[in-house]
């Protein structure tokens, strides 16, 4: 399937209303995060993995090359504007619309039209060139939506992880994610990731005819995956 590069700042008025696929919410524990990533207790707790640039044929990439791009870092800020969740990643100088708390046709940016009990996600992506690290700069809970590596994903591949705050999250290369969602009105993180910033994405309405719904209430979370 050929999926065109998306506009990462879609207006709600340009997005269709769609059926919703609710994904499970589990607590972000070391056991539950195995294969997806790790909990970190400080921003320098682990190095960001950098993946060696692949060869295109039978000739191999020479040792000591292909993984020298290094990392980039900066503030990653998330803020609810009424029913719309927006984010700004200073590390790569980009901003995004992550999703909505209701169907796009009902979403307002000037005010909240109802309780924020779920985030409707329209896309996710992964980075084949390296991992990504988030560490909170302020207190508060947040939810992260992840899926294990592999291009043949389905809505059932995804899991939402609840974090109470106080600790950060490291995501392995090739793990599907859509940044983080604050439960409160806004949240700031320190971010570090591979400088190449290759991004492979999935557009849920186009591929699956639905939005993913990530629960934003801790009482909906299971203890184990």
Please, which pLDDT band fits residue 8 given cuts at 50, 70 and 90?
Answer: low
For residue 189, list its beta bridge partners.
76, 136
**pLDDT tens digits along 34-88:** 999 999 999 999 999 999 999 999 999 999 999 999 999 999 999 999 999 999 9
- Report whether CATH 3.10.450.50 matches the domain 12-50+70-220: no
- Per-residue burial over 197-218, b if 16 or more Cβ lie within 10 Å, else e, is beeeebbbbeebebbbbbbbee
Of 139, 110, 118, give the one whose Cα is nearest residue 212: 118
- Strands 211-215 and 20-22 turn out to be parallel
Of 104, 72, 70, 75, give the one whose Cα is nearest residue 87: 75
Burial of 181 (0-12, 13-18, 19+ CB in 10 A): buried
Please, which pLDDT band fits residue 152 given cuts at 50, 70 and 90?
Answer: very high
Residues in contact with 182: Cβ distance below 8 Å, sequence separation at least 6, in sequence order: 78, 79, 80, 85, 140, 141, 142
In this predicted structure, what is the pLDDT of residue 1?
Answer: 39
Residue 152 structure tokens = 């043949």
Locate the domains of the chain by residue range. Answer: 12-50+70-220
**d(Cα 173, Cα 36) in Å, to the nearest integer?**
9
CB atoms within 10 A of CB 129: 21
- Average pLDDT (12-41) is 94
């Amino acid at each position: 399937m050929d999926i065109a590069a998306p506009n990462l700042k879609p207006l709600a008025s340009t997005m269709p209303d769609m059926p919703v696929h609710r994904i499970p919410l589990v607590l972000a524990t070391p056991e539950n995060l195995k294969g997806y990533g790790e909990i970190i207790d400080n921003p320098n707790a682990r190095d960001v993995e950098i993946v060696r640039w692949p060869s295109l044929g039978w000739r191999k990439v020479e040792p000591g090359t292909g993984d020298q791009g290094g990392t980039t870092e900066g503030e990653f800020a998330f803020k609810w504007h009424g029913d719309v969740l927006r984010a700004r990643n200073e590390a790569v100088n980009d901003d995004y619309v992550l999703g909505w708390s209701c169907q796009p046709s009902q979403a307002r940016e000037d005010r909240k039209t109802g309780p924020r009990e779920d985030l409707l996600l329209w896309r996710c992506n992964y980075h084949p060139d390296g991992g990504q690290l988030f560490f909170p700069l302020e207190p508060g809970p947040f939810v992260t939506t992840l899926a294990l590596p592999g291009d043949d994903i389905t809505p059932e591949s995804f899991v939402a992880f609840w974090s109470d705050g106080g600790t950060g999250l490291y995501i392995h290369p090739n793990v599907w994610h859509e940044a983080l969602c604050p439960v409160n009105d806004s949240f700031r993180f320190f971010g570090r990731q591979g400088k190449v910033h290759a991004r492979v994405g999935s557009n849920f309405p186009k591929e699956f005819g639905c939005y993913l719904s990530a629960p934003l209430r801790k009482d909906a979370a299971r203890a184990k995956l």
